[in-house]
């Protein structure tokens, strides 16, 4: 499928999706969000794809929702179209792992999009922020909610109230990103992580994603029960037998996704 605002490539069993609106620092306009939800849904359905990497350019992962596109909208318009509702929900429904490889600006909706991914690998030049307050709005895709869960109330309040940016080192210290790598190594590192994930059983990988996400959506007691039952259910798979047998036989496991 050809896209106007994305470049989608496949390397073996990894889908690499690049946001591609350089003239607007990859600002998320309706075409881009439409195309992104389609590209991700497509990758999720494609049996040959086992992991997804989402990235931008060296200067910007994405500088936020498109300010030009929304500046003149009325409350009734954004409410009726449920601005950022359905397209973002389609991205959240993807069951395969998505790694955000973030270089440069990840601001507003850009930071929020990165947080929707399963984890963030940041280049040393990455800058995260929720500067919506400077535009007379609050964040609209999770900047007050997900960010608070990632970095805690103090930093989330600081970033949302002052609009200041967090550099990659601070983002790693605060738990927003899983690792920081030299800027030229960002994509190789993200692709290597994706290949590691692609080697695993896809049944187990989906169960891991569901279980970790459950930690954000329920109480600890319910989350632990969900995890334990999911762990139990893995014993119904051939891949559990293979994984444990391979360990005992001191060989590499050959997973078959069943
Ligand atoms: N929307 C639309 N266009 C944008 C944009 C955005 N979010 N961010 C940058 N651009 C455009 C600029 O208008 C400019 O276009 P022109 O050349 O046509 O003027 C082009 O991208 C390059 O940007 P700058 O000249 O500003 O580049 P810079 O290097 O001087 O500054 C920046 C970079 C600090 C990221 C600055 O562009 C900036 O502050 N951008 C806006 C960041 C922001 O406020 N994001 C939040 C958006 S609201 C949101 O996301 C709501 C939500 O939660 C859903």
The 10s digit of each residue's pLDDT in 143-167 is 999 999 999 999 999 999 999 999 9
Q: Whose CA is nearest to atom 47 of ligand 1?
A: 64
State mean pLDDT over 139-144: 98
How confident is the model over 34-87, as pLDDT tens digits? Answer: 999 999 999 999 999 999 999 999 999 999 999 999 999 999 999 999 999 999
Ligand 1 within 6 A of 165 CB?
A: no
Distance 82 CA to ligand 1 centre (A): 22
Distance 250 CA to ligand 1 centre (A): 53
Percentage, residues of the chain above pLDDT 70: 100
Residue from 209, 187, 177 nearest 97 by CA: 209
State mean pLDDT over 10-20: 97
Distance 224 CA to ligand 1 centre (A): 42
Mean of all residue pLDDT scores within the chain: 97
Ligand 1 within 6 A of 135 CB?
A: yes
Distance 70 CA to ligand 1 centre (A): 13
Ligand 1 within 6 A of 143 CB?
A: yes
| Residue-wise DSSP of the chain | ---SSEEEEEETTEEEEEE--GGGTT-B-HHHHHHHHHHHHHHHH-TT--EEEEE--SSEEE--B-HHHHTT--HHHHHHTTTTSHHHHHHHT--S-EEEEE-SEEETHHHHHHHHSSEEEEETT-EEE-GGGGGTS--SSSTTTHHHHHHHHHHHHHHHHH--EEEHHHHHHHTS-SEEE-GGGHHHHHHHHHHHHHHS-HHHHHHHHHHHHHHHHS-HHHHHHHHHHHHHHHTTSHHHHHHHHHHHTTS-------
Of the residues 43, 112, 190, 193, which is catalytic? Answer: 112
Question: What CA–CA distances, in Å, run from 94 to 87, 154, 161?
Answer: 12, 31, 31
Judge residue 151's burial from the number of C-beta atoms within 10 Å of its C-beta, 0-12 exposed, 13-18 middle, 19 or more buried. buried
Active site annotation includes 169: no
Active site annotation includes 210: no
State mean pLDDT over 106-120: 98
CA distance 155 to 94: 29
Active site annotation includes 112: yes
Ligand 1 within 6 A of 56 CB?
A: no
How confident is the model over 210-248, as pLDDT tens digits? Answer: 999 999 999 999 999 999 999 999 999 999 999 999 999
Ligand 1 within 6 A of 104 CB?
A: no
Atom of ligand 1 nearest to the CA of 105: 35
Ligand 1 within 6 A of 24 CB?
A: yes
Active site annotation includes 11: no
CA distance 57 to 88: 21
What's the farthest any 2 CA atoms get from each other in the chain? 65
For 74, phi then psi, to 5°, come to -95, 165
Ligand 1 within 6 A of 83 CB?
A: no
What's the pLDDT band for 249 if we cut at 50, 70, 90?
very high
- Ligand 1: residue of 24, 26, 83, 159 to mutate (most ligand atoms within 8 A of CB) is 24
**Residue-level pLDDT at 1:** 75
Q: Whose CA is nearest to atom 22 of ligand 1?
A: 24
Q: In angstroms, how far is CA 256 from the centroid of its own chain?
A: 26
Close Cβ partners of 117 (under 8 Å, ≥ 6 residues apart):
54, 98, 99, 100
Ligand 1 within 6 A of 118 CB?
A: no
The bridge status of strand 98-102 relative to strand 60-62 is unpaired
Residue from 169, 46, 54 nearest 112 by CA: 54
């Amino acid at each position: 499928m050809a896209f106007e605002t994305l470049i989608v490539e496949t390397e073996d069993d990894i889908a690499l999706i690049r946001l591609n609106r350089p003239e607007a620092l990859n600002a998320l306009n309706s075409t881009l969000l439409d195309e992104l939800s389609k590209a991700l849904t497509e990758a999720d359905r494609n049996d040959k794809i086992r992991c997804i990497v989402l990235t931008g350019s060296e200067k910007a992962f994405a500088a936020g929702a498109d300010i030009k596109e929304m500046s003149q909208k009325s409350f009734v318009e954004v409410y009726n179209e449920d601005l950022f509702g359905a397209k973002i929900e389609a991205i959240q429904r993807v069951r395969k792992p998505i790694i955000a490889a973030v270089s440069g600006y990840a601001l507003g909706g850009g930071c929020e999009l990165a947080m929707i991914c399963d984890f963030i690998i940041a280049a040393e030049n990455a800058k995260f922020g929720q500067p919506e307050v400077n535009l007379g709005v609050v964040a609209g895709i999770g900047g007050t909610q997900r960010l608070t869960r990632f970095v805690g109330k103090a930093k989330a309040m600081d970033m949302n109230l002052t609009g200041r940016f967090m550099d990659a080192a601070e983002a790693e210290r605060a738990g927003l990103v899983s690792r920081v790598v030299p800027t030229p190594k960002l994509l190789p590192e993200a692709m290597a992580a994706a290949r590691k994930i692609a080697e695993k059983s896809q049944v187990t990988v989906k169960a891991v994603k569901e279980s970790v996400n459950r930690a954000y959506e329920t109480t600890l007691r319910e989350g632990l029960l969900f995890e334990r039952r999911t762990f139990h259910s893995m014993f119904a798979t051939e891949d559990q037998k293979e994984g444990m047998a391979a360990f005992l036989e001191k060989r590499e496991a050959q997973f078959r996704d069943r």
